Amino acid sequence: MKKHKHTHIGAAVLFAFFGLLFFVLFLRFVQLQVTGVADGQVLAIKAEERYTKKRTIEAKRGTIFDRRGEVIAEDIPSYTVVAVLDKEMTTDPNDPKHVVDPEMTAKKLAPLLNMEVDEVERILKKDAKQVEFGPNGRGISQALKQKIEALHLPGITFMRDSKRFYPNGTFASYVIGYVQKSDSSDGREKGMMGIEQSLDRYLKEEDGYVTFKGDPKGWRLPHHTDEKIVSPKNGDDVYLTIDQKIQTFLEDAMNEVEKKYQPEKIIAIVANPKTGEILAMSTRPSFDPNKRNITNYLNDAIAYPYEPGSTMKIFTLAAAINEGVYNGNELYQSGSYAVGAHRIRDHNKVGWGMISFNEGVQRSSNVAFAILVREKLGEDRFLQYLHRFHFNQPTGIDLPGERIGNILYRYPVEKVTTGFGQGTSVTPIQQIQAATAIANGGKMMKPYVVDRIVDSETGKIIVKNKPEVVGTPITKETAEKVLDILETVVTSEKGTGRPYQIEGYRVAGKTGTAQIPDPDGGYLTGHQNYIFSFLGMAPRENPRLLMYVAVKQPKISYTETGAVPVSMIFNSVMKNSLQYLNIQPTLDQPKQKVQAKKGIVLESYVGQSTEQAVKALKEKGFSVTVIGTGKEIRAQMPEAGEELAISDRVLLQTDGEAIMPDMTGWSLRDVMKLADLLHLKPSFMGSGYVFSQNIRPGTSVKENDYIIVELAEPDQLQKRLQENKQPEQEEQGPMD
């Protein structure tokens, strides 16, 4: 065949084109090999990123415990509900992996997520591969997850997560605080309010991760061992001084008062005056940190300064006694007292005539304290005591947001009114700190709520707080005299603190009825428009608990006093807490002292025969209970040498096995005797006399067993016994 004349030209052109293209590609290949850079990016790094996979290993935020190791806040597993809408995820029509029927799915899913059916259906019909359901579908519990799984809804799946959980709900909420997702890109939980905020640097966790070589789908490539693991760092654990049991007593009592009297505010603090440890602290309104239904973002116990009213008289009295200018038997004219152009009046407007200063304290006379400040102490010296009690500075409690009050001391009348709690403002925690000096022999203790911080992985203590004396504003002798007078405020027929008497325990304290400033000037008027309060400590002879309660503007009737809602909280919490702490009821109360002097000194019956000891005691008029079936007395309660009144109960423990007696009708004091004798751990419900016990009569008991009794008042005892009556049992406990 004859070749076309252009064939060689075309071949040459193609050869030249492909030769040039090959040369360019070769040069590019050489350039990439030499530089390792393409379009400004290092290829080795891009390859590493493409084939290196990273998986997060989740860490756990530190747990918050109470003083006895009970969990108050912890991380628990949670889940996020996800709906797969991508049809390509289904490979087998008989086993769909996506949402097939949005209407049916929405109808079944909506009630469990607490959402409207239309809203869920709208989400399921979105143009997306997968969707979530907002806040209602996040942080769900294992139990709810199982309920949703039981519906077998195609395309509904879950992503595992964790959430902060507060098992007690509304419980010291302003002390504990809460956590929420931060606005930062890492989405880490951040502490908000309370301990969660102030100790966030200790509680926060750091996630770990593992890296490995994988294919584009994320599967690990075989024969690759260059795996890197960074372990997660769990947060540190925090142990508080809060006692879950006492805090629960407080929350329950406050709930009852809030429901019945609907006050504007309630503030209460329970402390150990010997150490400054806060055992319970709560306010109303409060919130559940699981729900974050918050209406007030301040912890009123440490951040709400107000005019305290007559509880401030405690410290004025202490200052006067400490300076040696207080004579309780000295008389003064009550009713009114002139300070320049101003006139100070007692709360009843007319006074009680010529009375002693001791009676003035009992009746909470403003005039008595005006005289003490102006004529006895002097305003300048009194101001020094206000500073000694640290009313001019924060306590430094380890909680965020503490504020201080304001000492108004410009004009003569302000100096005088400060002495009885008007004009000058303080916070509840400042009063608690100052009162520790009264209950602790003159030593003022700094309040604190964090006992220790512990490494959750090693158990090593990182931070340990200890009791701290922050001042000695008064002497031990002064503190004792103040306690004596404050006890009469509760026991005297003329005392304003009579509603705060607690059966079996001596209480010392002072009431307060604080006026509330009117925004338009002056003070609010009306039966309810006060902050009613009580600052008390018990037992008087060695105060173990110090408690402040304030109730603002309760809806009380005209026949009720402000002491009613306050005492509902104080009496219930103080009594239950003293019993819970195994503090034996006081024997030497005023009435009991008189009776004891007419009583009989108890002899020792240890070593005598059971029959002989019982006979001798009954002849003297005592009630006798024998613990055990032995023939010889091994121990007795009360011990020898104590003075007892006729008909008092004596417990005799024999040798051999200890047997639980029938305690029906016993007083609380007798139960405490039994607990001491047998070394049991008692717990009480109610007040009055025993109608129920957890250990059956006739049952063998050992040291450290728990004995739980229920008590009823005398007028209710027979009714409760009848309700609690059981069929007669074969075994009967020993007779008294």
How far is CA 137 from its chain centroid? 30
Q: What is the pLDDT of residue 335?
A: 95
Q: Do residues 696 and 727 make contact, with C-beta atoms less than 8 angstroms apart?
A: no
Q: What is the pLDDT of residue 10?
A: 73
- Domain holding 312, by residue range, is 268-278+299-446+467-580
Instruction: Please write the tens of the pLDDT for every residue from 562-616.
Output: 999 999 999 999 999 999 999 988 744 444 333 333 457 888 999 999 999 998 8
Annotated catalytic residues are: 310
Contacts of 582 (CB under 8 A, 6+ apart): 672, 675, 681, 682
Q: What is the pLDDT of residue 441?
A: 96
Enter the tokens of residue 208: 């770990």
Asked if residue 480 and residue 386 are part of one domain, the reply reads yes
- Which one of 515, 546, 580 terminates a domain? 580
Enter the tokens of residue 528: 């309810």
Is 1 contained in some domain? no
Query: What's the mean pLDDT in 291-303?
Result: 94
Question: What's the total number of domains in the chain?
Answer: 4
Query: What's the mean pLDDT in 418-441?
Result: 97
Is 685 contained in some domain? yes
Q: With 0-12 CB in 10 A as exposed, 13-18 as middle and 19+ as buried, what is 634?
A: middle
Enter the tokens of residue 710: 């229920």
CATH of the domain at 717: 3.30.10.20
Asked if residue 498 and residue 549 are part of one domain, the reply reads yes
Does pLDDT of 238 surpass 90? yes
Task: Return d(Cα 249, Cα 268) in angstroms, integer.
Answer: 12
Does pLDDT of 220 surpass 80? no
Let me know the angle formed at the C-alpha of 230 by 224 and 231, rounded to the nearest 5 degrees: 125
Give the type of residue at 343.
R
Asked if residue 427 and residue 489 are part of one domain, the reply reads yes
Asked if residue 424 and residue 550 are part of one domain, the reply reads yes
Instruction: Please write the tens of the pLDDT for every residue from 654-669.
Output: 988 888 999 888 887 7
CATH of the domain at 130: 3.30.70.2110
Asked if residue 123 and residue 11 are part of one domain, the reply reads no
Give the type of residue at 567.
S
Is 285 contained in some domain? no
Enter the tokens of residue 255: 């709930």
Instruction: With cut-offs at 50, 70 and 90, classify the pLDDT of residue 214.
Output: low
Asked if residue 378 and residue 342 are part of one domain, the reply reads yes
Task: Return d(Cα 493, Cα 674) in angstroms, integer.
Answer: 34
DSSP reduced 3-state for 127: coil
- Which one of 167, 192, 221 terminates a domain? 167
Does pLDDT of 512 surpass 90? yes
Is 123 contained in some domain? yes
How far is CA 39 from its chain centroid? 61
92 CB neighbour count, 10 Å cutoff: 7
Does pLDDT of 492 surpass 50? yes
Q: What is the pLDDT of residue 595?
A: 36
Is 45 contained in some domain? yes
Q: What is the pLDDT of residue 602?
A: 84
Task: Return d(Cα 566, Cα 284) in angstroms, integer.
Answer: 13
75 CB neighbour count, 10 Å cutoff: 21
Tokens 């009375």 locate to: 355
Return the higher-pLDDT residue of 595 and 437: 437
Q: What is the pLDDT of residue 55?
A: 62
Q: What is the pLDDT of residue 27?
A: 76
Asked if residue 576 and residue 606 are part of one domain, the reply reads no
Q: What is the pLDDT of residue 657?
A: 86
Asked if residue 395 and residue 336 are part of one domain, the reply reads yes
Enter the tokens of residue 539: 């037992």
**Phi, psi (deg, nearest 5) at residue 559:** -95, -5
DSSP reduced 3-state for 456: coil
CA-CA-CA-CA dihedral for 107, 110, 112, 115, to nearest 10? -160
**Length of the chain in residues, anyone?**
736
Task: Return d(Cα 446, Cα 435) in angstroms, integer.
Answer: 11
Is the backbone peptide bond immediately before 539 cis, with ω within 30 degrees of 0? Answer: yes
The phi-psi region of residue 672 (left if phi > 0; otherwise alpha if psi is between -120 and 50; otherwise beta) is alpha
Instruction: Please write the tens of the pLDDT for every residue from 613-657.
Output: 998 888 887 889 999 888 899 999 888 877 777 667 899 999 888
Instruction: With cut-offs at 50, 70 and 90, classify the pLDDT of residue 45.
Output: low
Task: Return d(Cα 333, Cα 329) in angstroms, integer.
Answer: 13
430 CB neighbour count, 10 Å cutoff: 26
Task: Return d(Cα 101, Cα 125) in angstroms, integer.
Answer: 10
Instruction: Please write the tens of the pLDDT for every residue from 64-121.
Output: 999 999 999 998 888 889 999 988 888 888 889 899 999 999 999 999 999 999 999 9
Does pLDDT of 3 surpass 60? no
Q: What is the pLDDT of residue 182?
A: 66
Tokens 């409690």 locate to: 397
Query: What's the mean pLDDT in 193-211?
Result: 86
Asked if residue 496 and residue 378 are part of one domain, the reply reads yes
The Cβ-side half-sphere exposure at 616, using a 13 Å CA radius, reads 14
Asked if residue 367 and residue 432 are part of one domain, the reply reads yes
Quick check: pTM over 0.85? no
Q: Do β-strands 706-712 and 681-685 pair in parallel, antiparallel, or remain unpaired?
A: parallel
Query: What's the mean pLDDT in 388-404?
Result: 97
Q: What is the pLDDT of residue 727?
A: 38
Q: What is the pLDDT of residue 399?
A: 97
Spell out the SS3 assignment of 351-376: CCCEEEHHHHHHCCCHHHHHHHHHHH
Give the type of residue at 202.
Y
Indicate if the alpha-carbon torsion angle 296, 297, 303, 305 is positive or negative: negative
**Segment among 108-112, 116-120, 229-233, 406-410 with least mean pLDDT:** 229-233
Asked if residue 427 and residue 329 are part of one domain, the reply reads yes
Is 177 contained in some domain? no
Asked if residue 707 and residue 647 are part of one domain, the reply reads yes
Is 329 contained in some domain? yes
Does pLDDT of 243 surpass 50? yes
Instruction: With cut-offs at 50, 70 and 90, classify the pLDDT of residue 33.
Output: low
CATH of the domain at 324: 3.40.710.10
Enter the tokens of residue 635: 């121990």
Enter the tokens of residue 361: 């304290």
Is 191 contained in some domain? no
The phi-psi region of residue 324 (left if phi > 0; otherwise alpha if psi is between -120 and 50; otherwise beta) is left
Task: Return d(Cα 74, Cα 62) in angstroms, integer.
Answer: 7
Average per-residue pLDDT for the chain: 86
